[in-house]
Amino acid sequence: MAAKPKSLAQRLSKRGPHTVLRGNLALAGQPGTVYTPAEGFGLPAVAFGHGWMTGLDKYSKLFEHLASWGIVVAAPSTERGPIPSHLGLAADLGTTLDICVGVRLGTGRISVHPDRLGLVGHGMGAGAAVLAASRREVAAVAALYPAPTSPPASTLAARVHAPGLVLAAEKDLGSMGSDAVAVAQTWGGEVLMRAVHKATDDGMIEGRRLLAFLGVGGAQRNTQKVTRALLTGYLLYRLAGDKTYAPFADPEAELPGSEVLTEPDAIDRELGTQINQLLGR
């Protein structure tokens, strides 16, 4: 009997069965870090784009979590200044995927399958992942709480034909700092948009941030837990081909801590109404 979506989500919110190794991407010519299962051949892999002025250490638990479920995660540590190049980060994500395929990782008992590559990112990095996906073929893309980029990811998403997962924060849904709705509206291929309950866009960042004293980027454990489960299930289905986790790509599936948004246009209309009311129109 197949497990129910709720049970699957609870399973994936916890650490997986694999021992995790951590490595330095700089050894392959790209500043960054890589997390892998201790062994495995033909593994799925993702390149991960970080948020604005956010170090990779703020995602370490997420990286470890994905690797514990058999997914290689490699993240470039570039474009971390206050005025980053989004195209530059997108290019580094592409380079990172090439390294995953072209370099034998770990102790030589790990390899990545070239047809099981994905792009993932958070905030600014989510937009960069979309930009990167508009330039190359991948098996899946996951944009976690995407923020506006230059050029706009919401425009270039029309060129992305890989299946996509877009996560939006319930508390920031429709705000000027969130690009989730626009990205989902223009996606060129199959896309699934989920709103995470009681979440903010920066809630998935782990630990304290440099900008926390300004009220920016407060960590939310429940947001992190839900995000890990939703992302892991989606990648296991899309990249690893494990049909057990098909509900994570199913718009009809009810998964705890989130809900599917099937009419993003309605969010834009509601936001426009609110703005007009504020302006007295």
Q: What is the mean pLDDT of the chain?
A: 90
Distance of CA 115 to the CA centre of its chain: 19
In contact, 46 and 66? CB cutoff 8 Å: yes
What is residue 243's DSSP assignment?
G
Residue 267's pLDDT is what?
53
Averaged over 73-81, what is the pLDDT? Answer: 97
Segment among 35-39, 107-111, 200-204, 217-221 with least mean pLDDT: 217-221
What dihedral do alpha carbons 90, 96, 98, 102 form, nearest 10°?
Answer: 170
Contacts of 118 (CB under 8 A, 6+ apart): 44, 45, 46, 47, 138, 139, 140, 141, 142, 162, 235, 238, 239
CATH number for region 5-280: 3.40.50.1820
Q: How confident is the model at residue 49 (pLDDT cuts 50, 70, 90)?
A: very high
Q: Is the pLDDT of residue 82 over 50?
A: yes
Task: Assign 271 a pLDDT band (cuts: 50, 70, 90).
Answer: very low
Confidence of residue 109 (pLDDT cuts 50, 70, 90): confident
Residue 186 has pLDDT above 70, yes or no: yes
Looking at residue 239, the DSSP 8-state letter turns out to be T
Beta bridge pairs of residue 5? none
**What does the block give as tokens for 29?**
């010519």
Residue 120: exposure state from Cβ atoms within 10 A (0-12, 13-18, ≥19): buried
- Quote the Cα angle for 137-125-227, to 5°: 95
3-state secondary structure of 168: strand
259-277 average pLDDT score: 56
Backbone angles phi, psi at 218, to 5 degrees: -75, 130
Q: Rounded to whole angstroms, what are the CA distances from 231 to 18, 77, 119, 261?
A: 17, 21, 12, 16
pLDDT at 280 exceeding the cut of 80: no
Every domain of the chain and the residues it spans: 5-280
Q: Which of 220, 227, 196 is nearest to 120 (CA)?
A: 227
User: Binning pLDDT at 50, 70 and 90, where does residue 210 land?
Assistant: low
225 CB-near residues (< 8 Å, 6+ apart): 13, 257
Residue range 116-144: average pLDDT?
Answer: 98
Residue corresponding to tokens 């996951």: 142
Which is nearest to 51 in space by CA: 231, 181, 205?
A: 205
Q: Which pair of structure tokens corresponds to residue 108?
A: 């030589």
Average pLDDT of 132-142? 97
Pairing outcome for strands 258-260 and 191-196: antiparallel
The pLDDT score that the predictor gives to residue 264 is 58
